[in-house]
Structure 1
Amino acid sequence: MKASEHHLHKTDSFITDYLVATLEKLFDPIPVPIILVDDQARIKMINSVFASYLGYEKEQLIGKHVADVDKNTRFPYVLKSKKSEIAWKHRFENGHTAIVHRIPVVEDGDVKFGFGMVLFQDLEEFKDIIKENKLLETELIHIKKQLKKLYGATYSWETIIGDSEKMIQVKYMGRKVAQTHSNVLLLGESGTGKELFAHAIHNDSRRTHHPFVKVNCAAIPSNLLESELFGYAEGAFTGARKGGKIGKFELANGGSIFLDEIGDMHMDMQVKLLRVLQEREFEKVGDNKPITIDIRVIAATNKNLRELVNEGTFREDLYYRLNVMTIELPPLRERRGDIKDLARLLVNKLSNQLGKYVTTISQETMQYLKNYDWPGNVRELENILERAINLTEGDTILPMHLPSYITSQKVRHVSDGPIQALNEIIEEAERVAISRCLTYTNGNKLKTAKLLHISRSSLYDKIEKYDL
């Protein structure tokens, strides 16, 4: 052997021994079984934990072929194939079953070492971890569902009923607004569905997978609203919760915050809200550390904010900050064509909630509903129908089940209009006669058929024909 080759061999041997000694110092204290073999699968280093796991002292194993210690070993194959085996199930000769790694260390195409690690010393330990992980995943899914209920948007455009011209226009506007990041101001009388629109806008936006947080500015006393919106630091005031509290703005980060009844917000809070809209940051009560947020504000009110500005009870600069994209929701009296569909949907929902089998609204009853002006809008319609369902003994809501202030109004029948064809007049008379008879018999179809001197099957056909 030439002197230079002999020197190189000595250098390589020195580096190998030095590396092994270093790795032994590094890995021996670690409570994870670790082994290092040379290119012939002879054990160069094994830590105390692994030796004990195999039933030996580590000094007994150094220099031995790994197959002499564990006949089930796959290390020779790994070194020959130069392919790692990661997270493989392995049954050791002593009966232990574990999850192991076997990794060949390759340099310039040649295998220098093989590195092994026992990830789980007992397969049951691995199974327990998988089981625990599945339980944690189930718990996480449950928590996400709870958070979705608490801070998620429920309604979409499909759940907002209305095909009248005005509703088509406002829903179109809502869809356009949803695709922007701008603040939204929803105007409309109480009960017109402002909250439903806020839900739908959030659900249709890029923020749909982030929180939707609701705050009723009129329901929270002004002295508590600041800590509700911004949260507070620990020790901020007497009785403050240990660890402080996260405010609604922080909860809504990345998503949308719905500020209902914004017109009732106190002037002091309006100043603080304006700063959030301008700077996109705030401080918790009792803290001076700014918190940066990314939110969209959807505000709603049944008041005329322009008038409040003129009266000096609403800040003009805040009004302009909110009044970027404004949607005015029409009252129910301006979209009477939607009443029929709304009423049917509500009857179905309320019947299920109340445990009643009510499926039909008589045509005469529907006419009364369409004639009424609904100052309380959809919310009032829902209350009236709930009352009617509770009073109904059969499956049909009749005029007698409505409050007198609704039925005392003159119902506009078709006969009040221009001269009709004879068959239309006859059909109208027949419809009214059947409707009144159903009212008289409290919806009893057998009695109604007898009083009208027609068969029960004929009565059912006419009820279906006239949508009674």
Structure 2
Amino acid sequence: MSGKQINTKMQEGAKEFQNLHNNSLVLSEDSILSEYFITMMNKIFDPLPVPFILLDKDSRVRMINQVFADYLGFSKKEIIGKPVLEVDKYSRFPYVFKTKKAEIAWKHTFENGHTAIVHRLPVLDENGEIKYGVGMVLFEDLHQFRDIIEKNKLLETELYLYKNQLKEMHGAKYSWDNIIGNSEKMSAAKFIGRRASQTNSNVLILGESGTGKELFAHAIHNDSVRNFSPFVKVNSAAIPSELLESELFGYEEGAFTGAKKGGKIGKFELANGGSIFLDEIGDMPLKMQAKLLRVLQEKEFERVGGNNIVKVDVRVIAATNKDLRQLIDEGKFREDLYYRLNVMTIEIPPLRERHGDIGELVSILLNKLSNQLGKYVSNISENAMEHLIGHSWPGNVRELENVLERAINLTDSDTILPVHLPIYLKQHTRRIVDGPIRPLKDIIEDTEKEALARCLEYTDGNKLQTAKLLEISRSSLYDKLEKYGIS
């Protein structure tokens, strides 16, 4: 069957399916997967050479066309009515049903060893609840997929290059919506940031590592009149001092050994008309500070090895986690540069000064990390949250994200418990408000859970060895594991 014939069949099938689905709405809720409906689905999709499967809300297979059954190596009778994990233990449909989000063009290896590109689509009712799920195989093996990639290799390469150039030149990805927190200090920082975005003045962002200084820089650029112009990022501490000048201002051909033919433009030229984000400005060498000062004053510079003046219109957003006034006193930072940068100053509060934002941050980070890790964890126990709120967070939001990622990897349920948190975090927790001392029973249970989890981790899950190390019977170990929900 030709590609055109397949496309025609698919369109006819889709039209029939839509009519069938619309007509089924007048039936009872349970009749959506009735025998009549399944019979019609078989009539529509069995002739198609595209593997297709239909699941009910309990993840049981209600319909599969012949080509998909053949692909899996079973008869249709062996598949219909079974939970999808019994047909393919690697299926991600249970996770799709939990998240209620479609997975489009995913690479998937089936239990029989076949690797394919698949769609998984949850279908929701008017209340947002799962009604059924639809799966399709786009490419039955990766050879088909690779052939298409090879045929379009030149176009793909060009698109890749253009995409990376645009990403470098228009790299601002975040907005004010990405900055979480409504505590008094964070609200004040966002207020000043929004005001700064409406001007062309230079901005200096101060804050400890992990507080979100780069997020503010992105948001300021995206909310400014320069938002359609380049946003270029430079980490002053990450570039060797001997290369920093050529990186910022470019160089002419033959300027030094190893210089590219034709020279190279620098970050300031790339950012012309837009914004440049100079992170870790406190680590910039004094020699470079002098040249940067000239750019801020005169809006011009010379490339390394060149004599021509290059004029630029760039808005500078600088950030540092260091005390610039102290660096000035030590002779490590120019005072005149400080006053040039310190026009609009934003001080981002550390996480320990905005404990009221932790709950919202945890919720958003759990959702983000669950999607990244492919493991759905949406809840955190009250005791575990107390530990998070009571911690001083020297690493700020970055540390909180790392702690939550570790906890997601350790838990076997959809809930994070104190046992899944690092020991250092629980040992140094301080109470934010006065309250009654916790019952001794709760303290003992937390300690017991922590000991079990640590020992299992040490023995790589060997329960017999774990029981011996803890000097308890094996049956007692199993009882405790069941009690605390530890797998």
Give the TM-score taking structure 2 as reference length: 0.57
Which letter maps to 2:377?
V
**Counterparts of 1:92-131 in structure 2 under 5 Å?**
none
Report the 3-state secondary structure (helix = DSSP H, G, I; strand = E; otherwise coil) of the residue aligned with 1:416. Answer: coil
Aligned to 2:409: 390
Once residues 285 and 375 of structure 1 are traced to their aligned partners in structure 2, the CA distance between those partners, rounded to angstroms, is 40
Aligned to 1:196: 215
Once residues 246 and 329 of structure 2 are traced to their aligned partners in structure 1, the CA distance between those partners, rounded to angstroms, is 29
Aligned to 1:265: 284
- Asked if 1:164 is matched to 2:183, the reply is yes
Once residues 188 and 314 of structure 2 are traced to their aligned partners in structure 1, the CA distance between those partners, rounded to angstroms, is 26
* Alignment partner of 2:165 out of 147, 158, 162: 147
Is the contact between residue 398 and residue 439 of structure 1 (CA under 8 Å) also seen in structure 2? no
Deviation at 1:411, TM superposition (A): 6.2
Once residues 414 and 318 of structure 1 are traced to their aligned partners in structure 2, the CA distance between those partners, rounded to angstroms, is 43
In 2 relative to 1, CA 176–321 (structure 1 residues): closer, same or farther, beyond 3 Å?
same
- Asked if 1:314 is matched to 2:330, the reply is no
Once residues 177 and 368 of structure 1 are traced to their aligned partners in structure 2, the CA distance between those partners, rounded to angstroms, is 36
Deviations 1:332-388 (A, max 9, x none): 000001111111211111122122121211111111000000001011111111111
Once residues 355 and 405 of structure 2 are traced to their aligned partners in structure 1, the CA distance between those partners, rounded to angstroms, is 20
Aligned to 2:309: 290
Is the contact between residue 418 and residue 446 of structure 2 (CA under 8 Å) also seen in structure 1? no
Deviation at 1:391, TM superposition (A): 1.2
**Counterparts of 1:152-231 in structure 2 under 5 Å?**
152-231=171-250
Deviation at 1:149, TM superposition (A): 2.3
- Asked if 1:369 is matched to 2:399, the reply is no
Is the contact between residue 235 and residue 279 of structure 2 (CA under 8 Å) also seen in structure 1? yes
Which letter maps to 2:337?
L
- Asked if 1:356 is matched to 2:378, the reply is no
**Counterparts of 1:41-52 in structure 2 under 5 Å?**
none
Is the contact between residue 214 and residue 260 of structure 1 (CA under 8 Å) also seen in structure 2? yes
* Alignment partner of 1:281 out of 286, 297, 300: 300
Once residues 432 and 194 of structure 2 are traced to their aligned partners in structure 1, the CA distance between those partners, rounded to angstroms, is 38
In 2 relative to 1, CA 389–275 (structure 1 residues): closer, same or farther, beyond 3 Å?
same
Is the contact between residue 226 and residue 285 of structure 1 (CA under 8 Å) also seen in structure 2? yes
Deviation at 1:196, TM superposition (A): 0.3
Is the contact between residue 210 and residue 399 of structure 2 (CA under 8 Å) also seen in structure 1? yes
In 2 relative to 1, CA 409–312 (structure 1 residues): closer, same or farther, beyond 3 Å?
closer
- Asked if 1:340 is matched to 2:359, the reply is yes
Gaps of 5+ in 1: 1-135, 419-427, 453-468
Deviations 1:242-267 (A, max 9, x none): 11111000000000000000000000
Which letter maps to 1:250?
E
Which letter maps to 2:258?
G
In 2 relative to 1, CA 438–364 (structure 1 residues): closer, same or farther, beyond 3 Å?
farther
- Asked if 1:328 is matched to 2:347, the reply is yes
Once residues 414 and 376 of structure 1 are traced to their aligned partners in structure 2, the CA distance between those partners, rounded to angstroms, is 22
Q: CA RMSD in A?
A: 3.3
Which letter maps to 2:382?
Q
Report the 3-state secondary structure (helix = DSSP H, G, I; strand = E; otherwise coil) of the residue aligned with 2:306. Answer: coil
Which letter maps to 2:399?
E
Report the 3-state secondary structure (helix = DSSP H, G, I; strand = E; otherwise coil) of the residue aligned with 1:303. Answer: coil
Deviation at 1:415, TM superposition (A): 8.1
Once residues 224 and 359 of structure 2 are traced to their aligned partners in structure 1, the CA distance between those partners, rounded to angstroms, is 30
Deviation at 1:150, TM superposition (A): 2.2
Once residues 417 and 255 of structure 1 are traced to their aligned partners in structure 2, the CA distance between those partners, rounded to angstroms, is 55
Deviation at 1:417, TM superposition (A): 5.6
Gaps of 5+ in 2: 1-153, 454-478
Once residues 411 and 323 of structure 1 are traced to their aligned partners in structure 2, the CA distance between those partners, rounded to angstroms, is 36
Report the 3-state secondary structure (helix = DSSP H, G, I; strand = E; otherwise coil) of the residue aligned with 1:385. Answer: helix
- Asked if 1:400 is matched to 2:419, the reply is yes
In 2 relative to 1, CA 257–268 (structure 1 residues): closer, same or farther, beyond 3 Å?
same
Is the contact between residue 419 and residue 446 of structure 2 (CA under 8 Å) also seen in structure 1? no
Superposition misfits of 4+ residues, deviation over 3 angstroms: 136-148, 409-415, 435-442
Once residues 427 and 342 of structure 2 are traced to their aligned partners in structure 1, the CA distance between those partners, rounded to angstroms, is 42
Aligned to 1:36: none
Once residues 330 and 244 of structure 1 are traced to their aligned partners in structure 2, the CA distance between those partners, rounded to angstroms, is 42
In 2 relative to 1, CA 372–415 (structure 1 residues): closer, same or farther, beyond 3 Å?
closer
Deviation at 1:148, TM superposition (A): 3.7
Report the 3-state secondary structure (helix = DSSP H, G, I; strand = E; otherwise coil) of the residue aligned with 1:185. Answer: strand
In 2 relative to 1, CA 332–279 (structure 1 residues): closer, same or farther, beyond 3 Å?
same
In 2 relative to 1, CA 278–414 (structure 1 residues): closer, same or farther, beyond 3 Å?
closer
Deviations 1:280-322 (A, max 9, x none): 0011111110110000000000011111111111111101100
In 2 relative to 1, CA 287–366 (structure 1 residues): closer, same or farther, beyond 3 Å?
same
Once residues 414 and 308 of structure 1 are traced to their aligned partners in structure 2, the CA distance between those partners, rounded to angstroms, is 37
User: Between Structure 1 and Structure 2, whose CA radius of gyration is higher?
Assistant: 1
Once residues 157 and 258 of structure 2 are traced to their aligned partners in structure 1, the CA distance between those partners, rounded to angstroms, is 32
Report the 3-state secondary structure (helix = DSSP H, G, I; strand = E; otherwise coil) of the residue aligned with 1:237. Answer: coil
Report the 3-state secondary structure (helix = DSSP H, G, I; strand = E; otherwise coil) of the residue aligned with 1:245. Answer: coil
In 2 relative to 1, CA 204–137 (structure 1 residues): closer, same or farther, beyond 3 Å?
farther
In 2 relative to 1, CA 265–390 (structure 1 residues): closer, same or farther, beyond 3 Å?
same
Once residues 448 and 212 of structure 2 are traced to their aligned partners in structure 1, the CA distance between those partners, rounded to angstroms, is 34
Report the 3-state secondary structure (helix = DSSP H, G, I; strand = E; otherwise coil) of the residue aligned with 2:328. Answer: helix
Is the contact between residue 367 and residue 411 of structure 1 (CA under 8 Å) also seen in structure 2? no
Give the TM-score taking structure 1 as reference length: 0.60
